[in-house]
Structure 1
Protein backbone atom coordinates (compact mmCIF):
# COMPACT_ATOMS: atom_id res chain seq x y z
CA UNK A 1 0.00 0.00 0.00
CA UNK A 2 1.31 3.44 -0.92
CA UNK A 3 -0.06 6.95 -0.57
CA UNK A 4 -1.36 7.17 -4.13
CA UNK A 5 -3.29 3.92 -3.90
CA UNK A 6 -4.70 4.71 -0.44
CA UNK A 7 -5.80 8.16 -1.58
CA UNK A 8 -7.69 6.65 -4.51
CA UNK A 9 -9.45 4.12 -2.26
CA UNK A 10 -10.47 6.73 0.30
CA UNK A 11 -11.66 9.21 -2.32
CA UNK A 12 -13.83 6.54 -3.88
CA UNK A 13 -15.36 5.42 -0.60
CA UNK A 14 -15.87 8.91 0.80
CA UNK A 15 -17.19 10.70 -2.29
CA UNK A 16 -20.58 12.32 -1.82
CA UNK A 17 -22.42 15.16 -3.59
CA UNK A 18 -22.28 17.28 -0.42
CA UNK A 19 -18.56 16.71 0.22
CA UNK A 20 -15.41 18.33 -1.14
CA UNK A 21 -12.20 16.28 -1.08
CA UNK A 22 -8.82 18.03 -1.14
CA UNK A 23 -5.33 16.52 -1.24
CA UNK A 24 -2.21 18.22 0.13
CA UNK A 25 0.59 16.50 -1.78
CA UNK A 26 3.38 18.17 0.19
CA UNK A 27 2.06 17.06 3.61
CA UNK A 28 0.37 13.87 2.36
CA UNK A 29 -2.98 14.90 3.85
CA UNK A 30 -6.46 14.17 2.56
CA UNK A 31 -9.22 16.50 3.71
CA UNK A 32 -12.92 15.76 3.44
CA UNK A 33 -15.27 18.63 4.18
CA UNK A 34 -18.89 19.66 3.89
CA UNK A 35 -19.38 21.94 0.87
CA UNK A 36 -21.92 24.12 2.66
CA UNK A 37 -20.19 24.67 6.01
CA UNK A 38 -16.53 24.16 5.14
CA UNK A 39 -16.14 22.01 8.24
CA UNK A 40 -14.32 18.75 7.76
CA UNK A 41 -11.79 16.12 8.77
CA UNK A 42 -8.18 15.75 7.67
CA UNK A 43 -6.60 12.31 7.29
CA UNK A 44 -2.84 11.79 7.66
CA UNK A 45 -2.23 9.15 5.00
CA UNK A 46 1.13 7.84 6.37
CA UNK A 47 -0.56 6.90 9.65
CA UNK A 48 -3.26 4.88 7.87
CA UNK A 49 -0.65 3.17 5.69
CA UNK A 50 1.36 2.14 8.77
CA UNK A 51 -1.75 0.65 10.32
CA UNK A 52 -2.73 -1.06 7.04
CA UNK A 53 0.48 -3.11 7.12
CA UNK A 54 -0.72 -4.85 10.30
CA UNK A 55 -4.51 -4.68 9.98
CA UNK A 56 -5.04 -4.57 6.20
CA UNK A 57 -8.56 -3.63 5.12
CA UNK A 58 -9.72 -3.08 8.69
CA UNK A 59 -7.49 0.00 8.85
CA UNK A 60 -9.27 1.50 5.84
CA UNK A 61 -12.72 0.50 7.10
CA UNK A 62 -12.05 2.18 10.46
CA UNK A 63 -10.79 5.36 8.79
CA UNK A 64 -13.88 5.62 6.59
CA UNK A 65 -16.16 4.91 9.55
CA UNK A 66 -14.66 7.62 11.77
CA UNK A 67 -14.65 10.19 8.98
CA UNK A 68 -18.31 9.59 8.16
CA UNK A 69 -19.35 9.61 11.81
CA UNK A 70 -17.24 12.68 12.48
CA UNK A 71 -18.73 14.64 9.58
CA UNK A 72 -22.23 13.70 10.73
CA UNK A 73 -21.49 14.84 14.29
CA UNK A 74 -20.19 18.19 13.04
CA UNK A 75 -23.57 19.00 11.57
CA UNK A 76 -25.41 18.32 14.83
CA UNK A 77 -25.90 21.04 17.42
CA UNK A 78 -24.45 19.79 20.69
CA UNK A 79 -24.97 20.85 24.31
CA UNK A 80 -22.97 20.29 27.48
CA UNK A 81 -25.84 20.79 29.91
CA UNK A 82 -27.74 17.54 30.18
CA UNK A 83 -24.73 15.65 28.81
CA UNK A 84 -22.52 15.88 31.88
CA UNK A 85 -21.91 12.12 32.02
CA UNK A 86 -20.48 12.18 28.50
CA UNK A 87 -17.65 14.66 29.07
CA UNK A 88 -14.16 13.14 29.22
CA UNK A 89 -10.53 14.24 29.02
CA UNK A 90 -8.46 13.06 26.05
CA UNK A 91 -4.68 12.97 25.85
CA UNK A 92 -3.08 14.32 22.68
CA UNK A 93 0.45 15.19 21.61
CA UNK A 94 1.68 18.77 21.87
CA UNK A 95 1.75 18.86 18.06
CA UNK A 96 -2.01 18.33 17.93
CA UNK A 97 -3.83 21.45 16.63
CA UNK A 98 -4.74 23.98 19.30
CA UNK A 99 -7.76 25.17 17.33
CA UNK A 100 -10.40 23.80 15.03
CA UNK A 101 -9.84 24.29 11.32
CA UNK A 102 -12.42 27.06 11.43
CA UNK A 103 -10.03 28.98 13.71
CA UNK A 104 -11.93 28.41 16.97
CA UNK A 105 -9.52 27.63 19.87
CA UNK A 106 -9.94 24.29 21.62
CA UNK A 107 -10.10 24.20 25.39
CA UNK A 108 -7.03 22.29 26.61
CA UNK A 109 -4.57 22.16 29.50
CA UNK A 110 -0.81 21.49 29.52
CA UNK A 111 0.16 18.05 30.78
CA UNK A 112 3.78 17.07 30.08
CA UNK A 113 6.45 18.22 27.65
CA UNK A 114 5.01 15.67 25.22
CA UNK A 115 1.27 15.80 25.88
CA UNK A 116 -1.77 18.01 26.40
CA UNK A 117 -5.19 17.40 27.91
CA UNK A 118 -8.13 18.19 25.64
CA UNK A 119 -11.76 17.69 26.61
CA UNK A 120 -14.39 15.88 24.60
CA UNK A 121 -18.14 15.42 24.51
CA UNK A 122 -18.82 11.77 23.76
CA UNK A 123 -21.54 11.42 21.12
CA UNK A 124 -21.69 7.63 21.11
CA UNK A 125 -20.10 6.63 17.82
CA UNK A 126 -17.74 9.60 17.83
CA UNK A 127 -16.95 12.64 19.97
CA UNK A 128 -16.48 16.37 19.64
CA UNK A 129 -13.59 18.26 21.17
CA UNK A 130 -14.83 21.10 23.36
CA UNK A 131 -13.84 24.52 22.07
CA UNK A 132 -14.03 28.00 23.55
CA UNK A 133 -17.14 28.89 21.53
CA UNK A 134 -19.04 25.91 22.93
CA UNK A 135 -18.05 26.86 26.48
CA UNK A 136 -19.25 30.43 25.97
CA UNK A 137 -22.50 29.36 24.32
CA UNK A 138 -23.29 26.92 27.10
CA UNK A 139 -22.14 29.21 29.90
CA UNK A 140 -19.71 26.64 31.28
CA UNK A 141 -16.48 27.55 33.06
CA UNK A 142 -13.21 25.73 32.42
CA UNK A 143 -13.02 24.43 35.99
CA UNK A 144 -16.49 22.89 35.62
CA UNK A 145 -15.39 20.99 32.52
CA UNK A 146 -12.19 19.72 34.20
CA UNK A 147 -14.01 18.54 37.30
CA UNK A 148 -16.77 16.82 35.33
CA UNK A 149 -14.35 15.13 32.92
CA UNK A 150 -12.04 13.76 35.62
CA UNK A 151 -14.99 12.50 37.67
CA UNK A 152 -16.30 10.60 34.63
CA UNK A 153 -12.83 9.25 33.85
CA UNK A 154 -12.54 7.67 37.30
CA UNK A 155 -15.83 5.85 36.70
CA UNK A 156 -14.43 3.96 33.69
CA UNK A 157 -13.35 0.35 34.09
CA UNK A 158 -9.63 -0.44 34.11
CA UNK A 159 -8.88 -4.09 33.43
CA UNK A 160 -5.23 -4.70 32.60
CA UNK A 161 -3.65 -7.62 30.80
CA UNK A 162 -0.23 -8.63 32.13
CA UNK A 163 2.81 -9.92 30.29
CA UNK A 164 6.32 -10.74 31.51
CA UNK A 165 9.35 -10.18 29.29
CA UNK A 166 12.94 -10.75 30.40
CA UNK A 167 11.97 -10.46 34.05
CA UNK A 168 9.99 -7.23 33.60
CA UNK A 169 6.22 -6.93 33.97
CA UNK A 170 4.05 -5.00 31.53
CA UNK A 171 0.39 -4.13 32.09
CA UNK A 172 -1.79 -3.22 29.10
CA UNK A 173 -5.13 -1.41 29.16
CA UNK A 174 -6.91 -1.61 25.81
CA UNK A 175 -10.68 -1.32 26.23
CA UNK A 176 -11.07 0.60 22.93
CA UNK A 177 -13.53 3.09 24.40
CA UNK A 178 -11.46 6.03 23.16
CA UNK A 179 -10.13 6.91 26.63
CA UNK A 180 -7.50 4.25 27.36
CA UNK A 181 -4.62 6.73 27.21
CA UNK A 182 -6.69 9.23 29.19
CA UNK A 183 -6.59 6.92 32.19
CA UNK A 184 -3.06 8.18 32.80
CA UNK A 185 -4.91 11.10 34.44
CA UNK A 186 -6.64 8.79 36.93
CA UNK A 187 -4.28 9.29 39.88
CA UNK A 188 -5.95 6.73 42.19
CA UNK A 189 -5.57 4.12 39.43
CA UNK A 190 -1.91 4.96 38.78
CA UNK A 191 -1.12 4.95 42.50
CA UNK A 192 -2.85 1.58 42.83
CA UNK A 193 -0.62 0.19 40.09
CA UNK A 194 2.43 1.81 41.66
CA UNK A 195 1.75 -0.12 44.85
CA UNK A 196 2.06 -3.37 42.85
CA UNK A 197 5.37 -2.45 41.25
CA UNK A 198 8.55 -3.91 42.71
CA UNK A 199 10.97 -2.13 40.37
CA UNK A 200 10.68 1.25 38.65
CA UNK A 201 7.26 2.39 37.45
CA UNK A 202 7.17 3.62 33.84
CA UNK A 203 4.10 4.61 31.83
CA UNK A 204 3.50 4.93 28.10
CA UNK A 205 0.61 6.32 26.04
CA UNK A 206 1.76 5.66 22.45
CA UNK A 207 -1.73 6.13 21.04
CA UNK A 208 -5.27 6.92 22.10
CA UNK A 209 -6.36 3.32 22.61
CA UNK A 210 -3.69 1.93 24.91
CA UNK A 211 -2.14 2.61 28.30
CA UNK A 212 1.04 0.71 29.18
CA UNK A 213 2.29 0.49 32.74
CA UNK A 214 5.69 -1.14 33.16
CA UNK A 215 7.36 -2.64 36.21
CA UNK A 216 10.99 -2.23 35.13
CA UNK A 217 13.14 -4.63 37.14
CA UNK A 218 16.34 -4.61 35.07
CA UNK A 219 18.02 -2.48 32.42
CA UNK A 220 16.72 -4.64 29.58
CA UNK A 221 13.22 -3.55 30.55
CA UNK A 222 13.88 -0.01 29.28
CA UNK A 223 14.83 -1.25 25.81
CA UNK A 224 11.79 -3.54 25.69
CA UNK A 225 9.49 -0.69 26.70
CA UNK A 226 11.01 1.61 24.06
CA UNK A 227 10.53 -0.95 21.27
CA UNK A 228 7.03 -1.76 22.45
CA UNK A 229 6.01 1.89 22.66
CA UNK A 230 7.38 2.69 19.20
CA UNK A 231 5.49 -0.27 17.71
CA UNK A 232 2.20 0.87 19.26
CA UNK A 233 2.89 4.48 18.26
CA UNK A 234 3.37 3.52 14.60
CA UNK A 235 0.16 1.49 14.43
CA UNK A 236 -2.23 3.71 16.39
CA UNK A 237 -5.17 5.50 14.79
CA UNK A 238 -4.48 8.56 16.95
CA UNK A 239 -0.74 8.52 17.82
CA UNK A 240 0.33 10.44 20.92
CA UNK A 241 4.00 9.93 21.82
CA UNK A 242 6.69 7.30 21.34
CA UNK A 243 8.36 8.39 24.59
CA UNK A 244 7.69 6.80 27.95
CA UNK A 245 7.41 8.45 31.36
CA UNK A 246 8.73 7.80 34.82
CA UNK A 247 6.15 8.33 37.56
CA UNK A 248 7.56 9.67 40.81
CA UNK A 249 5.83 11.63 43.56
CA UNK A 250 2.75 12.12 41.40
CA UNK A 251 4.74 13.66 38.53
CA UNK A 252 5.39 12.34 35.03
CA UNK A 253 8.86 12.80 33.57
CA UNK A 254 9.60 11.84 29.93
CA UNK A 255 12.49 9.40 29.55
CA UNK A 256 14.70 9.11 26.48
CA UNK A 257 15.81 5.51 26.02
CA UNK A 258 19.00 5.57 23.98
CA UNK A 259 19.34 1.84 23.41
CA UNK A 260 21.70 -0.75 24.84
CA UNK A 261 20.09 -0.29 28.26
CA UNK A 262 20.97 3.39 28.47
CA UNK A 263 18.47 6.06 29.41
CA UNK A 264 18.44 9.77 30.06
Structure 2
Protein backbone atom coordinates (compact mmCIF):
# COMPACT_ATOMS: atom_id res chain seq x y z
CA UNK A 1 0.00 0.00 0.00
CA UNK A 2 1.28 3.49 -0.85
CA UNK A 3 1.68 6.09 1.88
CA UNK A 4 -1.09 8.23 0.38
CA UNK A 5 -3.58 5.36 0.47
CA UNK A 6 -2.58 4.46 4.00
CA UNK A 7 -3.02 8.08 5.10
CA UNK A 8 -6.50 8.24 3.58
CA UNK A 9 -7.47 5.02 5.34
CA UNK A 10 -6.43 6.42 8.72
CA UNK A 11 -8.15 9.73 8.04
CA UNK A 12 -11.42 7.91 7.29
CA UNK A 13 -11.16 5.97 10.54
CA UNK A 14 -10.36 9.05 12.65
CA UNK A 15 -12.55 11.68 10.99
CA UNK A 16 -15.11 13.40 13.22
CA UNK A 17 -17.06 16.66 12.89
CA UNK A 18 -15.40 18.04 16.03
CA UNK A 19 -11.86 17.21 14.88
CA UNK A 20 -9.33 18.67 12.49
CA UNK A 21 -6.89 16.43 10.62
CA UNK A 22 -3.70 17.96 9.20
CA UNK A 23 -1.01 16.21 7.16
CA UNK A 24 2.62 17.32 7.27
CA UNK A 25 4.15 16.28 3.93
CA UNK A 26 7.73 17.01 4.99
CA UNK A 27 7.63 14.85 8.12
CA UNK A 28 4.94 12.41 6.92
CA UNK A 29 2.93 12.94 10.09
CA UNK A 30 -0.79 13.16 10.66
CA UNK A 31 -2.11 15.44 13.41
CA UNK A 32 -5.59 14.81 14.79
CA UNK A 33 -6.87 17.56 17.08
CA UNK A 34 -10.03 18.61 18.87
CA UNK A 35 -11.38 21.74 17.15
CA UNK A 36 -12.45 23.36 20.41
CA UNK A 37 -9.27 22.91 22.46
CA UNK A 38 -6.84 22.55 19.53
CA UNK A 39 -5.17 19.76 21.51
CA UNK A 40 -4.42 16.53 19.75
CA UNK A 41 -2.10 13.72 18.76
CA UNK A 42 0.45 13.39 15.94
CA UNK A 43 1.13 10.08 14.20
CA UNK A 44 4.31 9.21 12.29
CA UNK A 45 2.91 7.40 9.25
CA UNK A 46 5.97 5.62 7.84
CA UNK A 47 6.52 3.34 10.89
CA UNK A 48 2.79 2.59 10.96
CA UNK A 49 2.77 1.75 7.27
CA UNK A 50 5.67 -0.65 7.84
CA UNK A 51 3.60 -2.42 10.51
CA UNK A 52 0.67 -2.62 8.10
CA UNK A 53 2.86 -4.20 5.44
CA UNK A 54 4.04 -6.75 8.01
CA UNK A 55 0.31 -7.46 8.58
CA UNK A 56 0.46 -6.21 12.18
CA UNK A 57 -3.12 -5.01 11.93
CA UNK A 58 -3.76 -5.23 15.68
CA UNK A 59 -0.98 -2.69 16.23
CA UNK A 60 -2.68 -0.25 13.85
CA UNK A 61 -6.02 -0.65 15.64
CA UNK A 62 -4.26 -0.08 18.96
CA UNK A 63 -2.82 3.20 17.65
CA UNK A 64 -6.26 4.31 16.47
CA UNK A 65 -7.68 3.51 19.89
CA UNK A 66 -4.79 5.42 21.48
CA UNK A 67 -5.73 8.50 19.43
CA UNK A 68 -9.42 8.20 20.29
CA UNK A 69 -8.79 7.86 24.01
CA UNK A 70 -6.04 10.48 24.01
CA UNK A 71 -8.14 13.19 22.41
CA UNK A 72 -11.10 12.42 24.67
CA UNK A 73 -8.90 12.72 27.76
CA UNK A 74 -7.66 16.15 26.66
CA UNK A 75 -11.14 17.66 26.77
CA UNK A 76 -11.39 17.61 30.56
CA UNK A 77 -8.84 18.68 33.15
CA UNK A 78 -8.78 16.11 35.98
CA UNK A 79 -8.33 17.15 39.60
CA UNK A 80 -5.64 15.56 41.75
CA UNK A 81 -7.79 15.85 44.87
CA UNK A 82 -9.89 12.75 45.19
CA UNK A 83 -7.76 10.99 42.60
CA UNK A 84 -4.65 10.40 44.71
CA UNK A 85 -4.84 6.63 44.15
CA UNK A 86 -4.72 7.25 40.40
CA UNK A 87 -1.40 9.14 40.37
CA UNK A 88 1.52 7.24 38.82
CA UNK A 89 5.03 8.03 37.55
CA UNK A 90 5.83 7.63 33.85
CA UNK A 91 9.24 7.32 32.21
CA UNK A 92 10.19 9.59 29.31
CA UNK A 93 13.39 10.47 27.46
CA UNK A 94 15.28 13.64 28.38
CA UNK A 95 14.21 15.12 25.01
CA UNK A 96 10.55 14.95 26.02
CA UNK A 97 8.97 18.43 26.37
CA UNK A 98 9.13 20.01 29.82
CA UNK A 99 5.95 22.01 29.31
CA UNK A 100 2.59 21.75 27.57
CA UNK A 101 1.92 23.36 24.21
CA UNK A 102 0.22 26.14 26.16
CA UNK A 103 3.48 26.91 27.94
CA UNK A 104 2.52 25.37 31.29
CA UNK A 105 5.36 23.48 32.97
CA UNK A 106 5.03 19.73 33.46
CA UNK A 107 5.92 18.16 36.78
CA UNK A 108 9.04 16.01 36.36
CA UNK A 109 12.36 15.07 37.92
CA UNK A 110 15.65 13.86 36.50
CA UNK A 111 16.22 10.11 36.59
CA UNK A 112 19.33 9.13 34.59
CA UNK A 113 21.37 10.81 31.85
CA UNK A 114 18.85 9.32 29.38
CA UNK A 115 15.54 9.47 31.24
CA UNK A 116 13.18 11.65 33.23
CA UNK A 117 10.24 10.84 35.47
CA UNK A 118 6.96 12.64 34.79
CA UNK A 119 3.72 12.21 36.73
CA UNK A 120 0.26 11.34 35.51
CA UNK A 121 -3.36 10.99 36.60
CA UNK A 122 -4.87 7.73 35.37
CA UNK A 123 -8.19 8.17 33.54
CA UNK A 124 -8.94 4.51 32.90
CA UNK A 125 -7.98 3.99 29.26
CA UNK A 126 -5.53 6.91 29.18
CA UNK A 127 -3.72 9.29 31.49
CA UNK A 128 -2.97 12.99 31.67
CA UNK A 129 0.46 14.32 32.61
CA UNK A 130 0.43 16.51 35.70
CA UNK A 131 1.37 20.15 35.08
CA UNK A 132 2.17 23.05 37.42
CA UNK A 133 -1.39 24.39 37.35
CA UNK A 134 -2.80 21.04 38.47
CA UNK A 135 -0.26 20.95 41.30
CA UNK A 136 -1.20 24.47 42.40
CA UNK A 137 -4.94 23.74 42.33
CA UNK A 138 -4.48 20.58 44.42
CA UNK A 139 -2.46 22.20 47.24
CA UNK A 140 -0.25 19.11 47.13
CA UNK A 141 3.51 19.61 47.05
CA UNK A 142 5.59 18.15 44.24
CA UNK A 143 7.31 15.93 46.80
CA UNK A 144 3.99 14.61 48.07
CA UNK A 145 2.86 13.79 44.52
CA UNK A 146 6.11 11.94 43.94
CA UNK A 147 5.65 9.94 47.15
CA UNK A 148 2.04 9.08 46.30
CA UNK A 149 2.97 7.95 42.80
CA UNK A 150 5.72 5.64 44.05
CA UNK A 151 3.37 4.13 46.63
CA UNK A 152 0.73 3.48 43.96
CA UNK A 153 3.34 2.01 41.62
CA UNK A 154 4.31 -0.63 44.17
CA UNK A 155 0.71 -1.86 44.21
CA UNK A 156 0.76 -2.78 40.51
CA UNK A 157 1.33 -6.40 39.41
CA UNK A 158 4.67 -7.37 37.90
CA UNK A 159 3.95 -10.05 35.27
CA UNK A 160 7.07 -11.29 33.48
CA UNK A 161 7.89 -13.57 30.59
CA UNK A 162 11.26 -15.27 30.65
CA UNK A 163 13.54 -16.24 27.78
CA UNK A 164 17.01 -17.81 27.84
CA UNK A 165 19.51 -17.13 25.03
CA UNK A 166 23.00 -18.66 25.09
CA UNK A 167 22.93 -18.96 28.88
CA UNK A 168 21.62 -15.42 29.42
CA UNK A 169 18.19 -14.90 30.97
CA UNK A 170 15.91 -12.10 29.75
CA UNK A 171 12.77 -11.01 31.57
CA UNK A 172 10.05 -8.99 29.81
CA UNK A 173 7.56 -7.09 31.95
CA UNK A 174 4.47 -6.14 29.91
CA UNK A 175 1.37 -5.55 31.99
CA UNK A 176 -0.23 -3.44 29.23
CA UNK A 177 -1.37 -0.77 31.68
CA UNK A 178 0.77 2.13 30.45
CA UNK A 179 3.16 1.91 33.40
CA UNK A 180 5.31 -1.06 32.34
CA UNK A 181 8.52 0.97 32.07
CA UNK A 182 7.62 2.80 35.30
CA UNK A 183 8.27 -0.41 37.26
CA UNK A 184 11.96 0.43 36.97
CA UNK A 185 11.28 3.04 39.68
CA UNK A 186 10.38 0.31 42.17
CA UNK A 187 13.68 -0.33 44.01
CA UNK A 188 12.41 -3.56 45.55
CA UNK A 189 11.87 -5.05 42.08
CA UNK A 190 15.42 -4.32 40.95
CA UNK A 191 16.90 -5.40 44.28
CA UNK A 192 15.07 -8.73 44.12
CA UNK A 193 16.19 -9.28 40.52
CA UNK A 194 19.77 -8.43 41.50
CA UNK A 195 19.68 -11.05 44.27
CA UNK A 196 18.29 -13.57 41.81
CA UNK A 197 20.90 -12.84 39.13
CA UNK A 198 24.12 -14.84 38.96
CA UNK A 199 25.76 -12.56 36.37
CA UNK A 200 25.61 -8.84 35.54
CA UNK A 201 22.12 -7.40 35.99
CA UNK A 202 21.09 -5.08 33.15
CA UNK A 203 17.93 -3.17 32.35
CA UNK A 204 16.46 -1.74 29.13
CA UNK A 205 13.66 0.86 28.87
CA UNK A 206 13.20 1.12 25.08
CA UNK A 207 9.63 2.43 25.30
CA UNK A 208 6.94 3.08 27.90
CA UNK A 209 5.13 -0.22 27.39
CA UNK A 210 7.89 -2.64 28.31
CA UNK A 211 10.62 -3.16 30.89
CA UNK A 212 13.42 -5.58 30.04
CA UNK A 213 15.65 -7.03 32.76
CA UNK A 214 18.60 -9.25 31.87
CA UNK A 215 20.92 -11.57 33.78
CA UNK A 216 23.99 -11.40 31.54
CA UNK A 217 26.51 -14.25 31.69
CA UNK A 218 28.66 -13.75 28.59
CA UNK A 219 29.48 -11.51 25.61
CA UNK A 220 26.56 -12.89 23.61
CA UNK A 221 24.19 -11.69 26.29
CA UNK A 222 25.40 -8.11 25.97
CA UNK A 223 24.99 -8.24 22.19
CA UNK A 224 21.49 -9.69 22.41
CA UNK A 225 20.39 -7.07 24.93
CA UNK A 226 21.67 -4.26 22.71
CA UNK A 227 19.82 -5.70 19.70
CA UNK A 228 16.58 -6.19 21.63
CA UNK A 229 16.69 -2.68 23.09
CA UNK A 230 17.24 -1.13 19.67
CA UNK A 231 14.46 -3.18 18.06
CA UNK A 232 11.92 -2.36 20.78
CA UNK A 233 12.96 1.31 20.71
CA UNK A 234 12.07 1.51 17.02
CA UNK A 235 8.71 -0.17 17.52
CA UNK A 236 7.48 1.67 20.62
CA UNK A 237 4.54 4.05 20.60
CA UNK A 238 6.37 6.28 23.10
CA UNK A 239 10.11 5.58 22.69
CA UNK A 240 12.39 6.22 25.67
CA UNK A 241 15.97 5.11 24.99
CA UNK A 242 17.80 2.43 23.00
CA UNK A 243 20.71 2.45 25.46
CA UNK A 244 20.68 -0.40 28.00
CA UNK A 245 21.54 0.24 31.65
CA UNK A 246 23.83 -1.65 33.97
CA UNK A 247 22.41 -2.01 37.49
CA UNK A 248 25.15 -1.57 40.06
CA UNK A 249 24.97 -0.54 43.72
CA UNK A 250 21.32 0.42 43.41
CA UNK A 251 21.87 2.72 40.43
CA UNK A 252 21.21 2.54 36.70
CA UNK A 253 24.07 3.47 34.41
CA UNK A 254 23.33 4.05 30.69
CA UNK A 255 25.85 2.03 28.70
CA UNK A 256 27.10 1.76 25.13
CA UNK A 257 27.43 -1.87 24.15
CA UNK A 258 29.84 -2.65 21.32
CA UNK A 259 29.28 -5.81 19.31
CA UNK A 260 31.08 -8.87 20.68
CA UNK A 261 32.50 -6.86 23.59
CA UNK A 262 31.45 -6.13 27.10
CA UNK A 263 30.66 -2.44 27.72
CA UNK A 264 33.58 -0.17 28.49
CA UNK A 265 32.41 3.37 27.73
CA UNK A 266 29.69 4.58 30.05
CA UNK A 267 27.67 7.65 30.98
CA UNK A 268 27.36 8.70 34.59
CA UNK A 269 23.80 8.98 35.88
CA UNK A 270 22.47 12.34 36.97
CA UNK A 271 21.97 12.77 40.69
TM-score w.r.t. the length of structure 2 is 0.92
- Matched residues in 1 for 2:38 and 2:223: separation? 45
SS at match of 2:143: helix
Show the counterpart of 1:12: 12
**Cα deviation digits, residues 76-120 of structure 1 (max 9, x gap):** 231111111110000011122222222222111111111110111
Show the counterpart of 1:105: 105
**Consecutive unaligned residues in structure 2, runs of 5 or more:** 266-271
- Matched residues in 2 for 1:45 and 1:262: separation? 36
TM-superposed CA distance for 1:53, in Å, is 5.0
SS at match of 1:258: coil
- Matched residues in 2 for 1:9 and 1:184: separation? 37
**Consecutive unaligned residues in structure 1, runs of 5 or more:** none
**Cα deviation digits, residues 9-32 of structure 1 (max 9, x gap):** 221111111111112222232211
- Matched residues in 2 for 1:51 and 1:239: separation? 16
Show the counterpart of 1:258: 258
Alignment of 1:154-169 (within 5 A): 154-169=154-169
**Which runs of structure 1 show a deviation greater than 6 angstroms over 4 or more consecutive aligned residues?**
none
Show the counterpart of 1:227: 227
Change over 3 Å in CA distance of 1:6–1:141 after alignment to 2: farther
Alignment of 1:1-264 (within 5 A): 3-54=3-54, 56-263=56-263, 264=265
TM-superposed CA distance for 1:183, in Å, is 0.4
- Matched residues in 1 for 2:2 and 2:148: separation? 43
SS at match of 2:77: coil
Q: Cα RMSD between the aligned structures?
A: 1.6
- Matched residues in 1 for 2:245 and 2:114: separation? 10
Change over 3 Å in CA distance of 1:232–1:130 after alignment to 2: same
- Matched residues in 2 for 1:50 and 1:229: separation? 19
- Matched residues in 1 for 2:168 and 2:147: separation? 35
Change over 3 Å in CA distance of 1:145–1:232 after alignment to 2: same
- Matched residues in 1 for 2:173 and 2:247: separation? 17
